[in-house]
């Protein structure tokens, strides 16, 4: 095993208190983000030691820890304990279950600043959801951070999705767009599409506005698809007969 991978595995075991777990399998994946940066992710599936065999090949046993780490940054991107069960010892515990303490842990874990790069969106019992922002201003598409914990305060789920760009790469400008300035774009984006109705056995015409992004100076547009996972589809641009 590559020494870098072995180091990340040992780090994960210690960080999440997986002494009563064994590493069942691991894999590497590659993706390219919106900034055209290539990232590699190490995915690990840790089974509780008392699980002697997997009952179903398609699902992991309750309590399994599925953890993903960005190999480039060595930051945890997600840590999920299946069905909210955890057998971790001396792992991530929010003893007071205080929101401020959890936010502090997120800041330490992600090196993001609360109030500047992410803000609290929803709070429920045992669950906190945060959304991406820039200097407190909501952004689109929004990154998400989720944290879940059980009644003992033990972490049962953590996930980080989105770009959360650093201040240095963001161009700050006074907002200059208006409805009048983009009215012509609205007309261009209005499309008629036909949806099949199996009950009526005919095509039903529907008018819709295709989403897109407009730069602050109004001179450039960006397609909505720019935010999709580029590795999940291939644009063919041909009519299907």
Dist CA 43 CA 24 (whole Å): 11
Q: What is the pLDDT of residue 35?
A: 74
Dist CA 167 CA 193 (whole Å): 41
**Is the bond preceding residue 213 a cis peptide, omega within 30 degrees?**
no
Q: What is the pLDDT of residue 232?
A: 47
How is residue 186 written in tokens? 């609205």
Per-residue pLDDT tens for 189-203? 898 989 999 999 999
Dist CA 32 CA 210 (whole Å): 25
Instruction: Report the candidate in 161, 151, 119, 158 with the shortest Cα–Cα distance to residue 136.
Output: 119
Q: What is the pLDDT of residue 1?
A: 65
Q: Are 144 and 129 in contact (CB under 8 A)?
A: yes
Q: Are 142 and 131 in contact (CB under 8 A)?
A: yes
Dist CA 96 CA 99 (whole Å): 9
Per-residue pLDDT tens for 108-157? 999 999 999 999 999 999 999 999 999 999 988 889 999 999 999 999 99
Q: Are 55 and 63 in contact (CB under 8 A)?
A: no
Mean pLDDT estimate for the chain: 89
């Amino acid at each position: 095993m590559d020494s870098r991978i072995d180091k990340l595995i040992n780090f994960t075991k210690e960080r999440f208190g997986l002494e009563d777990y064994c590493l069942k399998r691991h894999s590497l994946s590659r993706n390219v983000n919106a900034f055209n940066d290539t990232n590699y992710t190490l995915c690990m599936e840790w089974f509780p030691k008392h699980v002697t065999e997997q009952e179903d090949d398609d699902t992991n046993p309750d309590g399994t820890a599925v953890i993903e780490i960005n190999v480039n940054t060595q930051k945890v991107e997600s840590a999920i304990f299946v069905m909210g069960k955890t057998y971790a010892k001396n792992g991530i515990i929010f003893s007071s279950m205080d929101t401020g303490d959890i936010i502090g842990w997120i800041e330490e874990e992600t090196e993001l600043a609360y109030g500047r790069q992410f803000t609290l969106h929803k709070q429920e019992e045992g669950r906190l959801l945060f959304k991406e922002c820039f200097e407190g201003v909501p952004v689109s598409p929004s990154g998400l951070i989720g944290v879940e914990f059980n009644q003992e305060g033990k972490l049962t789920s953590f996930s980080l999705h989105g770009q959360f760009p650093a201040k240095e790469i963001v161009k700050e400008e006074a907002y200059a767009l208006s409805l009048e300035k983009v009215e012509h774009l609205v007309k261009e984006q209005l499309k008629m599409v036909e949806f099949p109705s199996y009950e009526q056995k005919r095509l039903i015409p529907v008018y819709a506005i295709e989403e897109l992004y407009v730069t602050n100076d109004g001179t450039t547009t960006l397609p909505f698809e720019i935010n999709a996972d580029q590795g999940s589809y291939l644009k063919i641009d041909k009519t299907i007969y």
